[in-house]
Chain A
Amino acid sequence: MAPSRPVPSSPLSISARALSSRSGLERVLRDLGPQIRRGDAPALAPGRCPTGIAAVDALLDGGFPRGRLSEIVGGPSSGRTALARALLAGATRAGEVVGMIDAADAFDPASAADAGIELERVLWVRAPHVHAALRSAERLLQARGFPLVLIDLAGAPGALHSDAPTAWSRLARAAAGAEAALVVLAGRRLAGASAELALEMRPRRARFTGTPALLEGLEVEAVLARTRRGAEGRAARIGLRVADPAA
């Protein structure tokens, strides 16, 4: 076994002399390569795209994985869209630009802004059907520079083509190449084995309070339906507040 190269314990141990020559600088870059970050990069967990919802991030070991295809599935009022918006909000607040492929044409800019999404950092593609949505996602991933691409297929018009399995594996490869988190939002699981993880959202109850009654929020449950790491079946309860329209 080859002896491992000694790594400086701290960047402070680098002397000015080491940086004064080209060879010294190359050696320092080689030794510290993985530890070097550009400027004030956002404090993201390495390789993860966090949602900002503590219970979900804990369930996902820090968030949705970058360079992988993930799924959020569930029926109406299950909190699937809220989770996707939280993901977009976290990424845009960190200064990233994100792609939102909306085959369902269901994105509501006003409620998205309420959820903390910086709208000008979102490329919103209103794909007319599922096939166009998948092709659009592939184009976005090939462009690089979009660390998060979300495909909303819940209730989208058009059926998946017979070549859909090939399309999912192609998208997963494109996500890996772009080192982007590719998240598919749908009513049911679609990507099969191409998905790194799948989070199944289930509605629990809606809270109406006060007189006259007001919709205060939704209570939902997130279940880890598929993961390549750790145990499946773990769940987390999430409370979602309804934005005050007067605020």
Chain B
Amino acid sequence: METPRRTAADRVACLLVSDLPLAAVLRAQPELVGLPLAVAAGTGPRAEVLAASAEAARAGVRPLLSIVHARALCPGLHVRAASPALERGARSTLLDVARSLSPRAAEVPRGRGVYAAEAAVHLDASGVNALFHSEQGFATALVARARSVGLPAVAAVARSRAVSLLAARSLLRAARSPLRAAEGPRSPADGDERDSSDTLVLSPDAEMAFLDPLPLDLLDPDDALADALTRFGIRCVGQLRRLPRRALVTRLGPGALPLLALAHGEADAVPLPGAPETRVREEIDLEWAIERWEPLAFVLRGLLARLAERLELRGLVSSDLDLELLLSGGGRDARRIGVAAPNGDPRALLGLLRLTLEQVPPAAPIEGIALATEGRLARTDQLDLFRPAGPTPSALGRTLGELEALCGSDRVGAPCVADDPHPDAFAQTAFAPAELRSPAARAARDFVALAALRALRPPVSAEVRAPRGRPEWLRSAVANGSVVGLAGPWRTTGHWWSPERRFAFDSFDVQTEDGSVVRLRFDLLRRLWQVDAIYD
């Protein structure tokens, strides 16, 4: 039987964020949106500006200025150090946005030079008309979804990954260029569709006409190739495309081939990957070490909100949390926080983190934090017509998590009768009322009031007088005095094949003169008396 082969998508979208260092900081600190902000490559006054917000740019702040110079130009400038951790989170979030709208998506390899600060993803845009009415609608939805998670992006749809990336870059260039901006959007007659400056859809027959006037630097050639082409007087993509391929490779070497492929807008042979991972990770480097809970809670709240936001994009919620703390002095504190049921509420997850950190505080001030989790489907509740409504899955999940943090993960669950002959054996299983069926109807007259057994864990040792092998007097923490009622013994043995676990007890039901009725046992192996339960 022939295995179906995946083929490359015939329509590809590119979602592109231009200034990633700036976007990553604004995503983590949304209170800075609308303020003059510069992201610097360090914290000192001589650090260089890497990116500036539009408000700062209007005041003259631009990349490569020193912070001192930038502050002189813009007195109210906010400066933040670029954070690789935040940038990694923003890149992953962009991929999550793509995967929330398309089953196949991949990150674009990092560019060079002026494109080093951009983050882009390619995603399969084949057949999106059925869901979004048009490719334009799809592109608009992509941009809107990226904006909803704090990433200002542009989107372009074309026949290949290369052309979609070039189209997205051209959108950004047009937005930045005062001259191009003044020209306004192109008309549909030009061969492309756009209803805003953030999206562009190229039909296959209009691609070449679109590519021809684009400047060569959009193709991101290396410096040597760019110099050589400039010397040849090649300045735009159309000029490059018209050159003979063999002669160009003979003169410039095989490094020119990928550039030619880009210029020709050749379709991709390798399909975009599917089956996305469900693990998400958010991290942050702190400029100052944190020692107290309040600032730590502030940072954790932001991390959890971003984590939940990314999971929500894929319709998932958080399972167990992996918390990693980078401590002052180079230490590392890694711990796993159990989440009893999948939960997407950042407040509840913060409560779990707090309980864990309160129980075992970190050994040193915290300089960096990373949180990761495996996305899980949220539990849904199907109401039963024949039984009362129980707790909602989300509330139950949150509560179970809190109870586990409070009492211990092995101390919360539904009881069950252990498959073990030892009298002290008991077991707990996961509590999942949503999976229960309606109870079997039983007649009320079946009910018989039974005396309960209160287990003593561990059993209480007892001093017993048993002159003829039968207890006559007893002293213990739970029952004392002469024995006034006695039944037994009943011998219980088990696990004889295991020297560590084997047991043999002679058990008695004993009533002492103080009124207590207890289950007393004689351990035949250890030769001692114990009270293991109270009849109550």
A and B part of one assembly: yes
Chain A contacts to B: CB under 8 angstroms: 38-42, 52-53, 75-82, 84-86, 89-90, 92-97, 100, 104-116, 118-128, 132, 135-136, 139-140, 142-147, 154-155, 203, 206, 208, 212-215, 217-218, 238-243, 245
Residue of B nearest to A152 (CB): B454
Q: What residues of chain B lie closer than 8 Å to A82, measured between beta carbons?
A: 449-452, 536
Establish whether residues A111 and B386, one from each chain, have CB atoms under 8 Å apart when the complex forms: no
A110 → chain B closest CB, angstroms:
5
Known: A76-B479, A145-B390. A111 touches B453 (CB 8 A): yes
Q: What residues of chain A lie closer than 8 Å to B536, measured between beta carbons?
A: 76-82
Name the segment of B301-309, B323-331, B370-378, B410-418 touching the other chain. Answer: B410-418
Give the dominant DSSP class at B's interface. mixed
Interface residues of B in 429-485 (CB under 8 A from A): 429, 431, 433, 436, 438-439, 442, 444, 446-457, 478-479, 485
Known: A76-B534, A110-B417. A208 touches B391 (CB 8 A): no
Task: Say yes or no for B408: interface residue by CB 8 A criterion.
Answer: yes
Name the segment of B22-30, B106-114, B224-232, B393-401 touching the other chain. Answer: B393-401
Establish whether residues A125 and B411, one from each chain, have CB atoms under 8 Å apart when the complex forms: yes
Task: Say yes or no for B517: interface residue by CB 8 A criterion.
Answer: yes
What CA separation (Å) do A208 and B449 show in the bound complex?
17
Establish whether residues A145 and B392, one from each chain, have CB atoms under 8 Å apart when the complex forms: yes
**Contact check: which of A42, A94, A143, A215 meets B487 at CB < 8 Å?**
A215
Q: Count A-B contacts at CB 8 Å.
A: 223
Establish whether residues A97 and B415, one from each chain, have CB atoms under 8 Å apart when the complex forms: no
What CA separation (Å) do A140 and B412 show in the bound complex?
12
Establish whether residues B485 and A208, one from each chain, have CB atoms under 8 Å apart when the complex forms: yes
Q: What residues of chain B lie closer than 8 Å to A108, measured between beta carbons?
A: 426, 452-455, 533
A84, A85, A116, A145 — most chain B CB neighbours (10 Å): A145
Establish whether residues A123 and B398, one from each chain, have CB atoms under 8 Å apart when the complex forms: no
Establish whether residues B428 and A124, one from each chain, have CB atoms under 8 Å apart when the complex forms: yes
Task: Say yes or no for B268: interface residue by CB 8 A criterion.
Answer: no
Task: Say yes or no for B486: interface residue by CB 8 A criterion.
Answer: yes
**Contact check: which of A41, A128, A142, A217 meets B399 at CB < 8 Å?**
A142
User: 8 extra interchain contacts, Cβ-Cβ under 8 A, other than A82-B536, A208-B487, A245-B490?
Assistant: A76-B478, A76-B515, A77-B515, A106-B455, A126-B411, A140-B399, A203-B515, A206-B485
Establish whether residues A123 and B515, one from each chain, have CB atoms under 8 Å apart when the complex forms: no
**Contact check: which of A38, A84, A112, A136 meets B407 at CB < 8 Å?**
A136
Residue of B nearest to A119 (CB): B415
Q: What residues of chain B lie closer than 8 Å to A115, measured between beta carbons?
A: 450, 452
Chain B contacts to A: CB under 8 angstroms: 384-392, 395-396, 398-400, 402-403, 406-408, 411-418, 426-429, 431, 433, 436, 438-439, 442, 444, 446-457, 478-479, 485-487, 490, 509, 511, 515-518, 533-536
Establish whether residues A136 and B449, one from each chain, have CB atoms under 8 Å apart when the complex forms: no
A142 → chain B closest CB, angstroms:
7
A40, A119, A143, A242 — most chain B CB neighbours (10 Å): A143
Establish whether residues A85 and B402, one from each chain, have CB atoms under 8 Å apart when the complex forms: no
**Contact check: which of B395, B438, B447, B509 meets A95 at CB < 8 Å?**
B438
What CA separation (Å) do A109 and B452 show in the bound complex?
10
Q: What residues of chain A lie closer than 8 Å to B490, measured between beta carbons?
A: 245
What CA separation (Å) do A55 and B446 show in the bound complex?
16
Establish whether residues B487 and A240, one from each chain, have CB atoms under 8 Å apart when the complex forms: no
Residue of A nearest to B400 (CB): A123
Establish whether residues A206 and B511, one from each chain, have CB atoms under 8 Å apart when the complex forms: yes
Q: What residues of chain A lie closer than 8 Å to B399, measured between beta carbons?
A: 139-140, 142-143
Q: What residues of chain B lie closer than 8 Å to A109, measured between beta carbons?
A: 415-418, 426-427
**Contact check: which of A40, A110, A145, A215 meets B396 at CB < 8 Å?**
A145
Q: What residues of chain A lie closer than 8 Å to B535, measured between beta carbons?
A: 77, 206, 215, 218, 242
A-B contact pairs, 16 of them (CB 8 A): A77-B517, A77-B518, A95-B386, A105-B455, A107-B415, A116-B446, A122-B414, A123-B413, A124-B414, A126-B412, A132-B407, A139-B402, A144-B395, A145-B389, A218-B451, A242-B509
A-B interface, 4 closest residue pairs, ranked by CB to CB distance from nearest: A145-B391, A95-B387, A81-B536, A143-B399
A12 → chain B closest CB, angstroms:
22
B218 → chain A closest CB, angstroms:
56
Q: What residues of chain B lie closer than 8 Å to A78, measured between beta carbons?
A: 536
**Contact check: which of A39, A110, A125 meets B403 at CB < 8 Å?**
A125
**Contact check: which of A118, A123, A135, A154 meets B406 at CB < 8 Å?**
A135
Establish whether residues A120 and B436, one from each chain, have CB atoms under 8 Å apart when the complex forms: yes
Establish whether residues B451 and A123, one from each chain, have CB atoms under 8 Å apart when the complex forms: no
**Contact check: which of B415, B450, B518 meets A240 at CB < 8 Å?**
B450
A185 → chain B closest CB, angstroms:
10
Q: What residues of chain B lie closer than 8 Å to A139, measured between beta carbons?
A: 399, 402-403, 406
Establish whether residues B414 and A143, one from each chain, have CB atoms under 8 Å apart when the complex forms: no
B506 → chain A closest CB, angstroms:
14
What CA separation (Å) do A203 and B431 show in the bound complex?
35
Q: What residues of chain A lie closer than 8 Å to B447, measured between beta carbons?
A: 52, 86, 89-90, 116
What CA separation (Å) do A99 and B438 show in the bound complex?
18
Establish whether residues A124 and B413, one from each chain, have CB atoms under 8 Å apart when the complex forms: yes
What CA separation (Å) do A160 and B127 show in the bound complex?
66
Establish whether residues B449 and A39, one from each chain, have CB atoms under 8 Å apart when the complex forms: no
**Contact check: which of B395, B414, B438 meets A123 at CB < 8 Å?**
B414
What CA separation (Å) do A123 and B406 show in the bound complex?
15
Residue of B nearest to A124 (CB): B415
B390, B398, B426 — most chain A CB neighbours (10 Å): B390
What CA separation (Å) do A43 and B460 show in the bound complex?
42
A1 → chain B closest CB, angstroms:
37
Known: A82-B450, A203-B515. A121 touches B406 (CB 8 A): no
A109 → chain B closest CB, angstroms:
4
Establish whether residues B485 and A125, one from each chain, have CB atoms under 8 Å apart when the complex forms: no
Residue of A nearest to B386 (CB): A40
